Each structure stands twice: as structure tokens, then as C-alpha cells.
């Protein structure tokens, strides 16, 4: 075989790969754990005591918070005026918070039983607008005072009613059988001199109405008794009898041989009825006038 033939044969033979050592990593082998890093150890010493950083436990939380704060940059913020701020500066703050443009912007939902009149509400709205109150704040204040006024009125009425009841009880005890007549005369005199409206609308310091106050009623009753001949008292007010006079009339009707004891007498029933009415009047029973 000549050199030319030998060269051709070598070229036709396939090249043998180089033998190399290859290492294949198995997925079954355990991976090394990433060591946890204490976030606080990453904070420079100059800022370690900052309260704003105390709530962060890892870098992930810190980054999220930072990104969130960056999104707020440029949003509509309200600067807090300092001690040198003027009323105009504060007014700008109130307007951004929702202060109405005028006092008419305040609305109050108090219902039909409100104790505050329209003029009072307008005056309050003007002051609320001057102070920069928000509608919700103004509504809350008005509702509080309206409820307070309702409670005060209820308490005053209860107190007045209790005083009237106690006064009636004491006067009935003092006047005895003459109570109804003396009260009627007292009311007639009081109404003639002061008028119903004044008597019923005037409240005294103890919460009682002037017309129900026991001292006032007794004073008019005594005055009416002294003026029994005056036209003011005579009018429609019936004359009243003392217990002594009632006992005297009963004794006359019940004397022996009278119609009161004789059932056959045609006037027996009338005599018995009259005696019964006199006894009721003496005992001051309410149904007897």
C-alpha cells in the first residue's frame, strides 16, 4: 500500500471521541438552605432606634412599605398649619376637609319634635361656619343639645306634675270639705287678675307652674275668701260651707220625728239623700262638687 492509499484509508475511518470524565448532579440530593438574615442587623446604627422601623421583620415588608409610600407622592395632601398660620390658612384646611361654602350648607335632621327653632339653627350654622366645623360635626352637636333639651323638658314636666299632685293633696287636707269651692274661687280670682296664659306658662324656680304652685293657690284662695262680697268672687262660684255648718244641717235633718227617720213620710228619700250628700261633702269626696 503506497502512501497515497494509506492516507485515504485514514480519512475514511471515523474519529474516536475523547474520553472525558463527566459528573451528573442528581436532583435527589438535598439543596443547601439559604441562611435567614436578621433585618434589624441591616439597619445602620444611626437609625436602629427609629420607631418607624421597629415593625419590619424582613426586607420584603420594608420594600413593600417603601413602594406604597412612593405611590402616595404627588397625591392631594393637606399640610398642617403651624403656630404662625393665619385664619385664612386654617380656612383652606377646613375647606379641603369638607367645610360648606356658606352657613346654608349645614343640614340638620332633627325630626318634627325638635326643641330648637329655625332662628336658633341659623345662628348656630353661622357660628359653625365661622369656626370651620364640618357638616357631620355640626349635626352631632345640634342633635346632642336637641336631645338634652327634650330630656330637660320631660324632667321639668314630671317635676311640675309631681308638685301639682303634692300641692293638691296638701290643700285638700287643709281645706277639707271646702276644697272644691275655695279652689274654684281662687282660680276665678287668679284668672281675672293675671290671666290663664300667664298662670300656665310662667315657671317658678322649683319647676312648678305659677297656677299650680301651692303657695300661690293658697294665697289666692285666702284672698278670695276675704273678698267674698266682691263681684270677682261672687260670679258663678258657689258659696262654700265649713264642717261646722255641714254638721249643723245634718243634725237638723236627722232630728227625731223628721222625715229622715220616718220611711212612710213622702219626703223620706229626699232627706236621706241630702244627708248622704252632706256627709260626702264633709269627707271631701271628689265626685261631690
pLDDT per residue as tens digits for the range 57-109: 787 887 787 777 666 555 567 777 888 888 888 888 888 888 999 999 999 98
pTM of the model: 0.41
* Helices (H), ranges, 73-213: 87-97, 118-131, 135-175, 179-194, 196-201
- The three three-digit cell numbers of residue 96, written as one number: 379641603
Buried b / exposed e over 150-168, threshold 16 CB at 10 Å, is: eeeeeeeeeebeebbeebe
**Helix %, strand %, coil % of the chain (to 5):** 60, 0, 40
Nearest to 207 by CA among 142, 270, 161, 240: 161
- The three three-digit cell numbers of residue 84, written as one number: 404662625
**DSSP helix/strand/coil, 234:** helix
Classify burial at 211, counting beta carbons within 10 Å of its beta carbon; exposed 0-12, middle 13-18, buried 19 or more.
Answer: buried
Classify burial at 205, counting beta carbons within 10 Å of its beta carbon; exposed 0-12, middle 13-18, buried 19 or more.
Answer: exposed
Torsion of Cα atoms, 98 then 103 then 109 then 113, to 10°:
160
Distance CA 43, CA 58 (A): 11
**DSSP helix/strand/coil, 255:** coil
**DSSP helix/strand/coil, 80:** coil
* CA 21 distance to own-chain centroid: 91
**DSSP helix/strand/coil, 203:** strand
Q: Which residues of the chain fall below pLDDT 50?
A: 1, 8, 19, 22-23, 229-238, 286-289
- For the beta carbon of residue 216, count every other beta carbon within 10 angstroms: 20
Amino acid at each position: 500500500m503506497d502512501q497515497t492509499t494509506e492516507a485515504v484509508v485514514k480519512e475514511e475511518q471515523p474519529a474516536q471521541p475523547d474520553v472525558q470524565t463527566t459528573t451528573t448532579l442528581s436532583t435527589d440530593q438535598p439543596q443547601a438552605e439559604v441562611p435567614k438574615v436578621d433585618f434589624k442587623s441591616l439597619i445602620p446604627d444611626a437609625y436602629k432606634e427609629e420607631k418607624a422601623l421597629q415593625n419590619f421583620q424582613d426586607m420584603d415588608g420594608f420594600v413593600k412599605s417603601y413602594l406604597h409610600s412612593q405611590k402616595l407622592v404627588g397625591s392631594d395632601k393637606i399640610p398642617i398649619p403651624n403656630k404662625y398660620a393665619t385664619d385664612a390658612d386654617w380656612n383652606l384646611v377646613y375647606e379641603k376637609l369638607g367645610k360648606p361654602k356658606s352657613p346654608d350648607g349645614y343640614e340638620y335632621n332633627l325630626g318634627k319634635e325638635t326643641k330648637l327653632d329655625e332662628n336658633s339653627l341659623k345662628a348656630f350654622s353661622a357660628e359653625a361656619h365661622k369656626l370651620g366645623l364640618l357638616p357631620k360635626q355640626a349635626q352631632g352637636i345640634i342633635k346632642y343639645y336637641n336631645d338634652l333639651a327634650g330630656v330637660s323638658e320631660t324632667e321639668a314636666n314630671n317635676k311640675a306634675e309631681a308638685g301639682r299632685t303634692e300641692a293638691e293633696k296638701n290643700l285638700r287636707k287643709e281645706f277639707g270639705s271646702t276644697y272644691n269651692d275655695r279652689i274654684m274661687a281662687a282660680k276665678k280670682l287668679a284668672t281675672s287678675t293675671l290671666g290663664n296664659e300667664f298662670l300656665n306658662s310662667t315657671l317658678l324656680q322649683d319647676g312648678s307652674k305659677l297656677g299650680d304652685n301651692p303657695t300661690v293657690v293658697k294665697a289666692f284662695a285666702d284672698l278670695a275668701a276675704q273678698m267674698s262680697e266682691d263681684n270677682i268672687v261672687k260670679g258663678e262660684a258657689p258659696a262654700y260651707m265649713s264642717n261646722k255648718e255641714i254638721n249643723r244641717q245634718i243634725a237638723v235633718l236627722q232630728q227625731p220625728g223628721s222625715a229622715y227617720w220616718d220611711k212612710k213620710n213622702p219626703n223620706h228619700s229626699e232627706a236621706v239623700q241630702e244627708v248622704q250628700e252632706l256627709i260626702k261633702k264633709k269627707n271631701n269626696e271628689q265626685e261631690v262638687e
